[in-house]
């Protein structure tokens, strides 16, 4: 600490203020008193000045901030601002201040002249330099700490971002790439190491995205590019870029839009399908109704026409009900289900009775290897699931009209449950059809001979998963389809049947 006599202090810092521990002024520099004629000993500092920096409210708090620069503003006399340093002493605080003036007019308006400012002698210069160095070092340390924190925050955001980000410097070398950039493109760490921008473009053009035009074109037009990749899996990536600095560095931004593209594709297919499915019954209903209205029709033909109208109206109703059911299912969560213990055998028999009521030529076989089959399900939703599956059985089994039902206990890890198998003997499915069978609006038959929306299996999968279960398909062409549904057992155990056929 550098010590000055009172005379040296007054000469070196004519705008100083001395405060006691309670925050009262007990001494002030001559020039400060000239700038503020009303300033007097005994006044409280906070009544005369507002503390601008640091952000504290009282003199007592100011004492704890002695290592920072001080900025205060007068509450009167033209709101003159002063800046300087804080010294903490046994008798209180010593504020070494100087007015902030930018012109001679401001100096004159404050009632000051050049003679009111210090001609720093060696002691004053030494003290000022010492305090200035301390303040600069403290400010530099604070700035470095803030930069480190900001850097850590930004690094965390970049690491956790699902979108890819990369920076190529002015020399064309990859300087930074976050984990998502590497994941979205399927590149290894070795491939990214010292990657050149031109090599990156060649890789995009030749390896996996042959329709990629050029990075330069994208930067010029500012339009994002859509890149299609098939390795290691099919995906569509949106690529955007921008010049990052005056030196020519480039930032690339990648976003996986596969789900959006697939949703648009499914929407287009659905609109096409819905238009076709609605147009077909509407054409029949309109055509036959016009005939019935416009001309006499024999009674026998009338019955055929009315039966066709009725059948086509049923098809339209089913289509609309499927769409409404899908909308409701999207909003349904497990906590909204009306869960209760039900015997799965009884639910199956109810669905069989209603679904095959008009199909007397269908043979339904049962192999129930459980005596008691309690599951916790929503009765209404589960009956809808079975009705939808049995509807497919009837629809795609034009010749071999038989369906085999089987129930048997099955463990999944530590969870006890029951496995339901529904096997038909119909036309079956090809492997490529099985792969997409649970997708919404997917229809294995594109001929239009079979009515439907392509929503049945998709909704079945959603229903089973809402009940914490699992659903799978197994099929071969001309060998029928087997639907396997596993559901966890209820609190009551699923007990094995002592005989082969229990029902």
Distance CA 174, CA 252 (A): 10
Is there a contact between 403 and 394 (Cβ–Cβ < 8 Å)? no
**pLDDT tens digits along 22-72:** 999 999 999 999 888 888 999 999 999 998 888 887 888 888 876 677 889
Which residues touch 376 (CB under 8 Å, ≥6 apart)? 339, 340, 341, 342, 467, 488, 490, 491
Task: Give the span between the Cα atoms of 322 and 315, in whole angstroms.
Answer: 11
How far apart, in whole angstroms, are the C-alpha atoms of residue 452 and residue 190?
51
Determine contact, residues 407/392, Cβ cutoff 8 Å.
no
* Torsion-angle region of 413 (φ positive above 0: left; ψ -120 to 50: alpha; else: beta): left
For 445, the token pair is 């038959």
pTM of the full structure: 0.47
Q: Are 372 and 343 in contact (CB under 8 A)?
A: yes
DSSP 3-state of 166: strand
pLDDT at 224 over 60: yes
Please write the tens of the pLDDT for every residue from 356-405.
887 778 899 999 998 778 999 999 889 989 998 998 888 888 777 889 99
Residue pLDDT, tens place only, 342-352: 999 999 999 99
Helix (H, G, I), strand (E, B) or coil at 162: coil
Residue 267 phi, psi dihedral angles, 5° rounding: -65, -45
Enter the tokens of residue 7.
């005379």
Report how far apart the first and last C-alpha atoms of the chain are (Å, whole number).
99
- CA 7 vs CA 10, 85, 123: distances in Å: 5, 19, 11
| Structure tokens belonging to residue 24 | 């009262």
């Amino acid at each position: 600490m550098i010590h000055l006599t009172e005379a040296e202090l007054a000469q070196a810092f004519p705008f100083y203020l001395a405060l006691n521990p309670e925050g009262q002024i007990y001494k002030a520099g001559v020039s400060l008193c000239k700038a503020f004629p009303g300033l007097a000993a005994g006044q409280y500092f906070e009544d005369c000045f507002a503390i601008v920096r640091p952000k504290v409210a009282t003199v007592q708090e100011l004492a704890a901030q002695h290592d920072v620069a001080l900025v205060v503003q007068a509450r009167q006399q033209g709101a003159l601002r002063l800046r300087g340093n804080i010294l903490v002493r046994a008798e209180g605080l010593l504020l070494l201040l100087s007015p902030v003036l930018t012109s001679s007019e401001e100096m004159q308006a404050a009632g000051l002249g050049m003679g009111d400012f210090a001609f720093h002698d060696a002691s004053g210069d030494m003290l000022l330099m010492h305090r200035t160095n301390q303040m600069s070092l403290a400010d530099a340390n604070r700035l470095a700490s803030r930069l480190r924190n900001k850097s850590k925050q930004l690094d965390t955001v970049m690491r956790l971002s699902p979108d890819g980000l990369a920076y190529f410097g002015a020399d064309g070398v990859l300087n930074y790439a976050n984990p998502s950039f590497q994941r979205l493109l399927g590149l290894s760490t070795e491939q990214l190491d010292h990657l050149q921008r031109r090599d990156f473009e060649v890789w995009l053009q030749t390896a996996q995205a042959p329709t990629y035009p050029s990075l330069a074109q994208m930067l010029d037009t500012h339009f994002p590019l859509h890149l299609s990749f098939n390795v290691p899996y099919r995906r569509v990536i949106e690529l955007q870029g921008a010049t990052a600095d005056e030196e020519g560095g480039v930032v690339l931004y990648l976003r996986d839009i596969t789900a959006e593209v697939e949703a648009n594709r499914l929407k287009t297919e659905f609109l096409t399908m819905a238009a076709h499915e609605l147009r077909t019954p509407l054409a029949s209903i309109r055509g036959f109704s016009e005939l019935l209205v416009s001309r006499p029709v024999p009674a026998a033909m009338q019955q055929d026409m009315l039966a066709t109208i009725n059948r086509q109206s049923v098809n339209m109703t089913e289509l609309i009900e499927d769409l409404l059911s899908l909308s409701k299912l999207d909003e349904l969560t497990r906590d909204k289900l009306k869960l209760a213990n039900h015997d799965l055998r009884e639910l199956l028999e109810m669905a069989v009775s209603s679904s095959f009521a008009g199909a007397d030529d269908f043979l339904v076989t049962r192999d129930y290897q459980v005596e008691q089959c309690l599951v916790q399900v929503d009765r209404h939703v589960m009956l809808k699931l079975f009705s939808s599956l049995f509807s497919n059985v009837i629809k795609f089994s034009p010749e071999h009209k038989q369906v085999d039902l089987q129930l048997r206990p099955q463990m999944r890890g530590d969870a006890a449950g029951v496995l339901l198998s529904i096997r038909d003997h119909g036309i079956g499915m090809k492997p490529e059809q099985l792969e997409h069978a649970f997708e919404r609006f997917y229809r294995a038959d594109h001929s239009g001979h079979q009515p439907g929306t392509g929503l049945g299996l998709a909704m079945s999968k959603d229903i089973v998963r809402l009940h914490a279960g699992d659903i799978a398909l197994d099929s071969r062409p001309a060998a029928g389809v087997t639907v396997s549904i596993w559901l966890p057992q209820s609190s009551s155990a699923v007990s094995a049947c002592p005989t082969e056929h229990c029902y």
